[in-house]
């Protein structure tokens, strides 16, 4: 039996070589890693967030290495959805890897328009909605923190999207279950979590933040225990598949998220120090399955004993 066979799985009806995907925001548009990583060895990849129009992003510095992780505030810099479908997507379509487009916006119509443009082009397996954005038409309330607003954006995107829609939830909420259930009730095909934790790092000498925008998003190993808890809670609250992310750096880390209830995982910050980490983690996960005498990776999902 090949190494790939025990890892083969499906996500929202999409066949995956393995359950390890490269996360949005840390893997560019995917194609930039072509010479570093065998993209066909990935379970899938999620391109960096796409908006209706190009965005230049925040003032530097944008990244700071913190204890046990990284704080970033890139400002959702991207080339815009129309440039993406013209300049990046045709190259990605050459690969057998499942490619998901991460979508964000500041009004419901922004999400809908990005999805509408993407729907006209081949080469994508599905969409991941980044709902950790303020809704400017509703006083800046974040889509990710209000079940009603979250439901509105999911319903609107589902009206135009023929491909599966995964909703990426924020951990910066009082309880994850109401948001997970709201996304499911609105028609989401899956969930991914968690996005970064709002954080602050200070230079004591200058008494200023180390990030140009002030606050940033904390990711990496430091957030893994909290991410595991949130994935477990979300997976137990819904029937749709969950993708887990947050500090995954090894095959055992990936196994822990699957045990917590995730169907697949995304690797983000680890790619900064090891661009090949998603492929390595998949290999390590295969070795874990072999050691534990587990025939198929799906047998791990949701097996936490509490």
Q: Which residues are catalytic?
A: 133
- Residue environment code for 35-47, b if the CB has 16+ CB neighbours within 10 A, otherwise e: eebebebbbbbbb
172, burial (CB in 10 Å: exposed 0-12, middle 13-18, buried 19+)? middle
For residues 184 and 167, the answer to whether their CB atoms sit within 8 Å is no
Order of strands across the sheet that contains 63-66: 63-66, 69-72, 216-219, 197-199
List the structure tokens of 114: 């990005």
Q: How far apart are CA 148 and CA 186, in angstroms?
A: 10
Residues in a beta bridge with 217: 72, 198
Residues in a beta bridge with 63: 72
Residue with tokens 């180390």: 210
Q: How far apart are CA 269 and CA 69, in angstroms?
A: 8
Helices 277-291 and 251-260 cross at an angle (nearest 10°) of: 70
Q: How far apart are CA 206 and CA 183, in angstroms?
A: 43
């Amino acid at each position: 039996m090949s190494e790939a066979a025990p890892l083969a799985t499906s996500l929202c009806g999409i066949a995956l070589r393995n359950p390890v995907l490269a996360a949005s925001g840390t893997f560019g548009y995917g194609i930039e890693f072509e010479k570093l990583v065998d993209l066909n060895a990935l379970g899938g990849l999620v391109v960096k967030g796409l908006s209706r129009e190009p965005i230049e992003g925040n003032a530097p510095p944008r990244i700071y290495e913190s204890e046990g992780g990284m704080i970033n505030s890139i400002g959702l810099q991207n080339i815009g959805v129309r440039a993406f479908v013209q300049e990046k997507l045709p190259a990605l379509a050459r690969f057998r890897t499942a490619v998901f487009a991460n979508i964000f916006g500041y009004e419901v119509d922004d999400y809908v328009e990005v999805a509408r443009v993407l729907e006209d082009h081949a080469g994508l397996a599905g969409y991941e909605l980044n709902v950790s954005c303020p809704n400017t038409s509703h006083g800046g309330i974040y889509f990710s923190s209000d079940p009603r607003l979250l439901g509105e954006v999911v319903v609107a995107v589902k009206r135009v999207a023929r491909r599966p829609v995964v909703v990426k939830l924020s951990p910066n909420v009082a309880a994850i279950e109401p948001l997970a259930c709201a996304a499911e009730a609105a028609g989401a095909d899956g969930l991914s979590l968690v996005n970064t934790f709002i954080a602050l790092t200070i230079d004591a000498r200058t008494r200023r933040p180390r990030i140009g925008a002030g606050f940033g998003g904390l990711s990496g190993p430091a957030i893994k225990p909290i991410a595991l808890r949130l994935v477990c809670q979300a997976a137990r609250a819904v029937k749709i598949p969950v993708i887990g992310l947050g500090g995954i750096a090894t095959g055992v880390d990936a196994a822990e998220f699957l045990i917590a209830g995730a169907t697949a995982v995304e690797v983000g910050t680890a790619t900064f120090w090891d661009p090949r980490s998603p492929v390595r983690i998949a290999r390590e996960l295969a070795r874990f399955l072999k050691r534990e005498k587990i025939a198929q990776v799906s047998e791990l999902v949701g097996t936490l004993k509490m």
